[in-house]
Structure 1
Amino acid sequence: MKRTLMAALSVTAMTAALAACGTGDDGSGSSGGGGSSDSLTVWLMDGSAPEPWVTELNQAFEAEHGVTVDVQIQQWGGIQDRLTTALSEDGTVDVMEIGNTQTVGYANTGGLADLSELRDQPWNSNMLASAEIDDTLYAVPWYGANRVVIYDKQIWAEAGAEVPTTRDEWITALETIRDNTDAEPIYLPGQSYYVLGGFIADEGGSFAVEDGDEWKGSLNTPEGQAGMEFYAELQSFSDSPTDNDEASPQQSTDIVPNGNVASWIGLGWEANGAIEALGGEADFGYFPVPGKTADQLGNVFLGGSNLAVNERAGNPELAREWLALATSQEWAQKFVDANGGGVVPNRTDVTANPEAGSFAEAMVASADVGFLPPLTTGWANVEAVPNPIKELMTASLNGEDYASAAQAADSEITTRINRE
């Protein structure tokens, strides 16, 4: 029977620093042996959890179970190949963090253990959907994060611009900055397609939709065009070329510290990177991406990670015990608190209380509003270079006919997404 994903939550980097911890880990991303009767091997991604939280959790677990927990820190670069190898071998790793967009692919290969006994916990529904396929739970939600608008308070005050609560007010603020300062009102790359996805979701659309047992691209629609038109309106206030994305050049370290940028859309780690690059002298404010009306924030690309147990774990029962403890109400609350409230909680019985005026406050405000890209094994093919959505964006920004460009993009998306 073909597995169909109920919904999706995708991955993005977190802001918290994670140092190497656990027995024998030097932070190099080594792939040592999995657990035995007296040990457990856990892979966590670089930047996913504060060291004090990991250390305290493992001390509690080791004291209760009389075992050693070996946490090995993995880098995001090349992680899919390392996970594929680990899941094909006996006892390499017991518990692993997996980006939400990756979960369905590994579950479909049979690499992840059935965790349905943990289904009846008060999980965040968006996060739960990314870990569940055909009512079978293959991972457990761990954390979420999303983008917000980051702005230079001094430039906005100089211009007399006000923090917006709607799309129209957002455009008015950018016009005010343009007319009253020499600053670039907003830096928005031509190909920030996750941002575009939020605008399309605001219109009720998506990148692709299910078509029977398959998927098909859905950009050549009124919703897709309306989302692109608003993106183009914002991008007209930017000096960015139409053919670059947010990764190249890196907006947080290459653009913002070297230019007179009044605002940009970014993640928490990007805001921190810009502050560091500016020598700690930045005076940033933050607000959620505005929606079409004041009572509805704009959709944002939701990010995060799941925790899963290797189907071929050396100690599957111990792995389940560690995962259940790490995602329990007690330790999930400690995880959120250790991050200063700067993550979207994985459970409804956990609360985030970020500092007023912080990035985290703006991010958490958008936690319940998000667009979810199609989560199928074939979605990775769509995101591969050259990404047809990015090519559509550049073509549209360069004045090409939207319908023609979107039709070509949809055809490519349909071909790629159905190729596993």
Structure 2
Amino acid sequence: MKRLTKVMAGAAAIALATAGCAGSGGGGSEESSGGPRTLTVWLMNGSAPETLTDALNKEFEGANEGVTVKYEVQEWNGIQDKLTTALASQNPPDIIELGNTQAPSFAALDVLTDLTADVDSMNGGQWLQSLKASGEWDGKQFSTPFYAANRSVIYRTDMFEQAGIAAAPTSRQEWLDAITKLRAKFGSDPQFQALYLPGQNWYTLLSFIYDEGGDIAEANGTEFKATMSSPEAKAGLEFYKELVEASGTTAPKDNDEQNPEQAGIYGQGKVAMMIALPWELGTAAKDNPDIEKNSSAFPIPSKNAGETAPVFQGGSNLAIPVNSKNTDLAKDYLRLLLSDKYQTQFAEAGMVPGASTDLSALDANPVSKAMAAASKNGRSVPATPTWATIEAGQNPLKDMLTAYLTGVKDIDTATTDADTALDAAFTG
């Protein structure tokens, strides 16, 4: 999601270029089904294993005589400008991958095909709710889920054992108790951190807010009103501060988990826990190969014992440009890609499939297993065209966290100011 940060760049150009060209229903002047046809598919680098896409394309071509799949892997760097140009043209690719925070922006510009009537035939009964929501705009479905990922608590099993912690925490209180035991055991080392938690990890904050019953904003049709000053959101923010103070983390309060990169900090061997995506453990292991075999994970615990907290779920969606000349073929391709057969292969590759409730393939790895357990309670950010610019710019959630954690603002002022900034961005 963070790689797709310039979502609104070129928005006016798209709107002008496509005005009067096609409606949101798609299905423009498709090529004759009697002759050769080419289906152009753009997926992003690293999104799908090559073995999967090779098999998928071969099967699709075999089932559709005269059809050739022109499969093109795109790089994240510069993709916004490339999509802007492609979607404004009369000859765009037939299927595109979009970051889930990016999807509402293009849907609102009327450049994506309306897939509302096709949801059921595309395995819609098994879609991840968070990605389904990110593909909706004004009551219609403009993109499908593709794959997702969410954070869990990656921890040092050897440190837990030495601190006398017999099992992974299954509630907030057990989590705090584990931190107390870890600090009692290892706290004499000034470099030790029971939990590395930077001040601006707003993805983690959302779990606590969701767990309290709150959200970033509430929707009224296509309009959003920020709700960070609600009692529920404040309670989530208060627990974040409690966790920071209990853990004794030395992480900066004015930066996020990428600055410095938390995986590198964890890899130094002085941190017992980090709240991270599964592949961050692999990054940590590059400098410390032994750390992977001594690590496991558990879902972010809920305040309710035995439950997992809801998690922010990021990932990608799939869409059909409204000016595609092969809307019928593109829909058939999506039906095949979103079928149980290929969704299972996504899970086997270590990703949360966007259209499958069978996540058993992720159980083979303890870190992926924790992600899968939490993914069933995934949530998304507000499905507004302005969200990606909020995330890319002076993110009010980050400002709020730093101001509150450092004492520059009390909780009422910090959350009210965040609401003001978010509301301005929602209407910008």
* Conserved 8 A contact 2:134-2:380: no
Shift of 1:92: 3.1
The alignment status of 1:268 with 2:275, answered yes or no, reads no
Which of 377, 381, 384 in structure 2 is aligned with 1:373? 381
The one-letter code of the counterpart of 2:281 is: A
* Conserved 8 A contact 1:189-1:245: yes
The alignment status of 1:60 with 2:64, answered yes or no, reads no
The 3 A distance-change label for structure 1 pair 217 and 55 is same
The 3 A distance-change label for structure 1 pair 194 and 56 is same
Shift of 1:360: 1.3
What is the CA–CA distance in structure 2 between the aligned matches of 1:155 and 1:388, rounded to whole Å? 36
Residue 179 (structure 1) aligns with: 184
Residue 153 (structure 1) aligns with: 157
What is the CA–CA distance in structure 1 between the aligned matches of 2:377 and 2:43, rounded to whole Å? 27
Shift of 1:353: 2.9
Which of 372, 377, 380 in structure 2 is aligned with 1:364? 372
Which range moved further: 298-307 or 316-325?
316-325
The alignment status of 1:383 with 2:391, answered yes or no, reads yes
Residue 287 (structure 1) aligns with: 298
What is the CA–CA distance in structure 2 between the aligned matches of 1:137 and 1:196, rounded to whole Å? 28
Residue 320 (structure 1) aligns with: 331
* Conserved 8 A contact 1:12-1:304: no
The one-letter code of the counterpart of 1:123 is: Q
The one-letter code of the counterpart of 1:51 is: E
What is the CA–CA distance in structure 1 between the aligned matches of 2:359 and 2:184, rounded to whole Å? 42
What is the CA–CA distance in structure 1 between the aligned matches of 2:336 and 2:364, rounded to whole Å? 30
* Conserved 8 A contact 2:146-2:355: yes
The one-letter code of the counterpart of 2:286 is: E
What is the CA–CA distance in structure 2 between the aligned matches of 1:249 and 1:377, rounded to whole Å? 30
What secondary structure does 2:106 align onto?
helix
What is the CA–CA distance in structure 2 between the aligned matches of 1:140 and 1:352, rounded to whole Å? 22
Which of 231, 234, 237 in structure 2 is aligned with 1:228? 237
Question: What runs of 5+ residues in structure 1 fail to find an aligned partner?
Answer: 1-10, 14-34
Q: How does 1:226-265 map to 2 (within 5 A)?
A: 226-236=235-245, 237=247, 238-252=249-263, 254-265=264-275
Residue 277 (structure 1) aligns with: 287
The 3 A distance-change label for structure 1 pair 43 and 234 is same
Q: How does 1:40-55 map to 2 (within 5 A)?
A: 40-55=39-54
Residue 352 (structure 1) aligns with: 360
What is the CA–CA distance in structure 2 between the aligned matches of 1:392 and 1:281, rounded to whole Å? 34
Residue 75 (structure 1) aligns with: 75
Which of 133, 145, 154 in structure 2 is aligned with 1:141? 145
The alignment status of 1:209 with 2:212, answered yes or no, reads no
What is the CA–CA distance in structure 2 between the aligned matches of 1:105 and 1:317, rounded to whole Å? 24
Shift of 1:345: 4.6
The 3 A distance-change label for structure 1 pair 86 and 70 is same
* Conserved 8 A contact 1:286-1:357: no
* Conserved 8 A contact 1:104-1:131: yes
* Conserved 8 A contact 2:340-2:356: yes
Residue 91 (structure 2) aligns with: 91
What secondary structure does 1:39 align onto?
strand
What secondary structure does 1:394 align onto?
helix
Which of 165, 168, 172 in structure 2 is aligned with 1:167? 172
Shift of 1:280: 5.5
RMSD: 2.2
Residue 8 (structure 2) aligns with: none
Residue 296 (structure 1) aligns with: 307
* Conserved 8 A contact 1:344-1:352: no
Q: How does 1:192-203 map to 2 (within 5 A)?
A: 192-203=201-212
Shift of 1:63: 2.0
What is the CA–CA distance in structure 1 between the aligned matches of 2:118 and 2:221, rounded to whole Å? 30
Deviations 1:295-338 (A, max 9, x none): 3211111122211111112432222221221112222223323x
Shift of 1:82: 2.1
What is the CA–CA distance in structure 2 between the aligned matches of 1:133 and 1:41, rounded to whole Å? 25
What is the CA–CA distance in structure 2 between the aligned matches of 1:309 and 1:202, rounded to whole Å? 35
The 3 A distance-change label for structure 1 pair 43 and 164 is same
Q: Kindly tell me the number of residue pairs found equivalent between the two proteins.
A: 384
Shift of 1:374: 0.9
Of Structure 1 and Structure 2, which has the larger fraction of its residues in helix? 2
Residue 136 (structure 2) aligns with: 132
Deviations 1:203-231 (A, max 9, x none): 11111223676322211222122111111
* Conserved 8 A contact 2:352-2:375: no
Which range moved further: 139-148 or 210-219?
210-219
Shift of 1:242: 0.5
The one-letter code of the counterpart of 1:176 is: K
The 3 A distance-change label for structure 1 pair 125 and 264 is closer
* Conserved 8 A contact 1:38-1:67: yes
* Conserved 8 A contact 1:343-1:352: no
The 3 A distance-change label for structure 1 pair 168 and 374 is same
* Conserved 8 A contact 2:149-2:352: yes
* Conserved 8 A contact 1:336-1:345: no
What is the CA–CA distance in structure 1 between the aligned matches of 2:396 and 2:183, rounded to whole Å? 32
What secondary structure does 1:366 align onto?
helix
What is the CA–CA distance in structure 1 between the aligned matches of 2:197 and 2:78, rounded to whole Å? 28
TM-score between both structures, scaled by the size of structure 1: 0.85
* Conserved 8 A contact 2:154-2:275: yes
Deviations 1:122-171 (A, max 9, x none): 23251323223344321222222210000111222222234111000001
Residue 24 (structure 1) aligns with: none
